[in-house]
Structure 1
Amino acid sequence: MKFGELGDLVVLTLRTPERAVRLLRDLDFGMAERWMIALLAACLSSLLAGIARQMFPPIASDPLSAILSVPLTLAGLQFAAMVLSAVAVTVIGRAFGGKGEFADALVLVAWVELILVGLQAVQLVLMLLVPPTATLMSLVAFGLSIYLTIALTKALHGFTSTPKVALGFIGGVFLVATILSILAAAFGILPEVSP
C-alpha cells in the first residue's frame, strides 16, 4: 500500500467505515503482520509523546508520570492497551451476537491508533506554532477516537444499531477502566490525590 493510498483509506474510514473495514479485511494480513502494525502504532505514538514531553515537560511529578516518561515503557503500555481493546471489542461484540474476529479487531484498533498518531503529529506542530489550538486538537482527537471505535466496531461485527454499539462501548470503557484501576492500585502507580 502506497502513502497516497493510506490518505485515501483515512478519508474512506471517516466517511464510510463499513467500506474501510471491508478493504482492510481484503488486504488479508497475516497474524504476524497484524501484530507488527499494532506495534508500529504503539511505537509511533510513544515517540511523539516522548518528543512532546521533552518540548513541554510536565509540571507535576508522580509515580504514573515517571513511568510514562520512559518511552519503552509507554510503548509497552500502549501496545498492551491496544491488545486489551481488541480483546474487549471482540469478546463484548460477540457476547451481543457480533461476528467479528480478534485478528480483524487488532488491525482496526491499530488503524484507529495510526490515524490518531497523524493527529498527534499535527497537534505537536500546533503546540509550537499556535499553542491555543493544540487544546482544540486534543478534543477533536478524543471525539474522533470515540467515533471511529464505535463505527468500526459496528462494521466489524455487522451490527445495525449505532446507539446500541455506543452503549456497549461506554460499558466496555467502564469495565476496562475498572480493571486497569485495580491493577494500577495493586502496583501502587495511581497518582496521589491531595485532600
Structure 2
Amino acid sequence: MMQQFRDLVILTVLRPAEAIEQIKAMHLPVRVSWALLVLGVMLSTVAIFARVLIFPVEIFPGVMFLDVVTPFGLFVTMTIVAATSAALLTFAGRQLGGQGTFATVLTYVAWLQIMRAVVEGAGLIVSFASFSLAVLAINLAGLYGIWIILQFQKGAHEFDSIGRALGSLVLTFVGLVMVISLLVAPFISV
C-alpha cells in the first residue's frame, strides 16, 4: 500500500497527465473521496500549525499568524475551499465542453489535498534546517501545483487542449473568490 502511495506521489509530480488517468481508474466511491479530502485538510492544518507554533510567523507588522487564525478556522476554511473548488472545477469544465463528473473531480481534489499534506509535512521537517527554505519550497510547490491542476483538469474532463483546462481554472477562481467572500468571512477574526 505504501509503495502504491509513493508511486502515485512520484507520478503526480513527474507525469501528472498519467497520474490523473490512474486516479480515474481507481473509481473511488464518493464517500471515500470525501474522507480523503477531509484527511488531507486535517493533516495540512496540523502541519501548518506545528510549523507556526515552533517558528512563529508575523503576517502583518505586529500581527502574528496565531493571533488571527485558529486551527478550527483554518480547517473549516480549507475544507470549504477544497469542496467548493471540486464543485466549481466540475461546473466550469462542463461549461467548456468537458466530460468530467463531480466524483472524478472530487477524487483528484482529494488527492491534491493529500499531496498538500505531504508538502506541508516536508516543509515542517525542512523548517528545522531553514525556515526560509521551507517557505520557499512550499510556495514553489504551490506554483507547480497549478500545472498539476491544469493537467488533472484536462484529463478529468478529457479536454483536447490545456487552454480549456486553463479557462475552466480561471472560471473556478472567479467563482471561488465569490464563494469565499460570502462563506468564509464569518470565520475570520481580526
Which TM-score applies when normalising by structure 1? 0.84
Q: Map residues 36-47 of structure 1 onto 2, 5 A cutoff.
A: 36-47=35-46
State yes or no: 1:156 paired with 2:156: yes
Shift of 1:67: 5.5
Q: 1:92-171 residue pairs with structure 2 within 5 A?
A: 92-171=92-171
Alpha-carbon distance, 1:80 to partner: 1.5
Q: What is the match of residue 89 of structure 1?
A: 89
AA aligned to 1:27 is M
Per the normalisation by structure 2, the TM-score is 0.86
Cα 1:179/1:126, change in 2 over 3 Å: same
The 1-side partners of 2:131 and 2:15 are apart by 32
Deviation at 1:183, TM superposition (A): 4.0
Equivalent in the alignment of 1:23:
22
> 1:132 & 1:67 partners in 2: Cα distance?
22
Q: 1:72 to 1:99 in 2, by over 3 A?
A: same
Structure 2 residues not aligned, in runs of 5+: none
CA drift of 1:141 comes to 1.6
Instruction: Assess, with a 3 A threshold, how the Cα gap between structure 1 residues 97 and 133 changes in structure 2: closer, same or farther.
Output: same
Higher relative contact order (CA 8 A, sep 6+): 2
Q: Give me the CA root mean square deviation.
A: 2.3
Which residue of 1 is the match for residue 175 of structure 2? 175
2:153 and 2:66 map into 1 onto residues whose CA distance is: 31
Question: What do the CA deviations read for 1:140-191 (whole angstroms, capped 9, x no partner)?
Answer: 1221221111110110000021133223313321331233124455x38476
**Partners of 2:31 and 2:187 in 1: CA distance:** 34
Amino acid at match of 2:133: T
Q: 1:159 to 1:108 in 2, by over 3 A?
A: same
Amino-acid identity (%): 22
